Each structure stands twice: as C-alpha cells, then as structure tokens.
Amino acid sequence: MCGAWRIGRRRALELGLCFALLPRQALAQTEPARERPKEGDLLIAVGGASTPEPLKADDLPLDGKQTLAWPMEPETKVVRNGSRLNKVLLLRLDPEGFDPETKERAADGVVGYSAICPHTGCDVTNWHPDRQVLECPCHYSIYDPKEEAKVLSGPSPRRLPALPLKIVDGRLAVAKPFIGRPGFQQM
Ligand code: FES
C-alpha cells in the first residue's frame, strides 16, 4: 500500500494510512539524528566509509586542514546528520598555543567547533596552516581555533561555538554540549 504513492487519485488518503502504519520505532529514530551532540557521542568523518569508524586523534593531521565530522550516538550508531547544525570541525594542533579555555576543552590536542559560520551559515572549510587560522569561504571571516575560535576579522558577529572533547577507549568523544548556539541569524 505504502508503495502506491504514484497513484494520484487516492494519494492523500494513502499518505495518511502510510504514516499511521509506520512503526513507532522508525518515527522515533528520526529524532536522535536531529538532536544536538550529547556527552559520549563519538565522531565520524563526513562523507567517510558506509560503515563509519569513529575518529581517533591520530586520524587527524597535526597542524593540517580541519576534518568535518558528525556526532554519532555510540550505542545505537545513529549519526546525528539530520540537521546540518550538528556538523563539527575538528583540528589537531599543538596545545601549547591554546588559551586556558581551549586547552580545557581539547582532547589530545584536538579541538572541536561548529562547522557552521555564524554570519550566514556557510561551512567553514578553509585552513591557513601558516597562520593557523580558519576561514569561511563565503565572506572571509577568520577565526582563531587556539583562542576559542574568536573572530579575528570579517563580518561574522561571533565566535564559532565550541564542542568540548574527551578521549573514550582511544576514540574522540563529545565531553559536553556545544558552548554557544550553532547556526546563524537570518538577515
Ligand atoms: S557566511 Fe561565513 S563569513 Fe559570511
């Protein structure tokens, strides 16, 4: 019955029936994928293997370009990719250069931040290894990942929300929810 979406005449009726027939579990599973990262979530690379392996600190290049990742609930393996506001960027740097807050939130030199630029919501994908700063490719806001991703220049109204990390069984895991609200304000 639910495969009969293409039959136009009784579509509305069938849609209602299909939703009624959906297992409760299937409906519930759509929600965890949209929830913000929680303590204990593991992290998997965006666009990685179909059977994703949780990331370890060593998987990230020291001083190299950021890795974009999704949080994953460790028991159910639900990947929280139902909202792009859950996208995280990870960098592995020498913690000697971190300010105290950043040092406290880092795990084995890895820092985590929201990947969504607070200006108008682009993914922050550029990395300048010489200056060790992040750059949003849309309007060139520059963030310092060693100092809580504060804004160094550009139109962004605020820093990138930080995602405190820890190591669990050798793997990177979320230590606390985002500090700050991921996302942007519609202009
Ligand atoms: S969206 Fe990032 S600087 Fe405008």
How far is ligand 1, taken at its centre, from the CA of residue 83, in Å?
Answer: 19
Instruction: Report the SS3 class of residue 27.
Output: helix
Which tens digits make up the pLDDT trace of 59-72? 999 999 999 999 99
Look at residue 17 and tell me whether its pLDDT is greater than 70.
no
How far is ligand 1, taken at its centre, from the CA of residue 147, in Å?
Answer: 19
CA angle, 87 then 92 then 98, to 5°: 105
Tokens of 127: 């990395």
Binding site membership of 116 for ligand 1 (Cβ less than 6 Å): no
Task: Label residue 115 by pLDDT band (50, 70, 90).
Answer: very high
Confidence (pTM): 0.83
What are the residue boundaries of the structural domains of the chain, listed by start? 1-30, 32-174
CA 141 to ligand 1: nearest atom: 3
Q: Which residues pair with 46 in a beta bridge?
A: none
How far is ligand 1, taken at its centre, from the CA of residue 124, in Å?
Answer: 8
Strands (E) across 47-182 are located at: 67-72, 88-92, 110-114, 126-128, 133-135, 142-144, 150-153, 165-168, 171-174
Q: In the predicted model, what is the mean pLDDT of the chain? A: 87
Binding site membership of 86 for ligand 1 (Cβ less than 6 Å): no
Which tens digits make up the pLDDT trace of 24-60? 444 444 689 999 999 999 999 998 777 789 999 999 9
How far is ligand 1, taken at its centre, from the CA of residue 139, in Å?
Answer: 5
Residue 186 CA to residue 72 CA, distance in Å, equals: 28
Binding site membership of 173 for ligand 1 (Cβ less than 6 Å): no
Domain spanning 32-174, CATH architecture? 3-layer Sandwich (2.102)
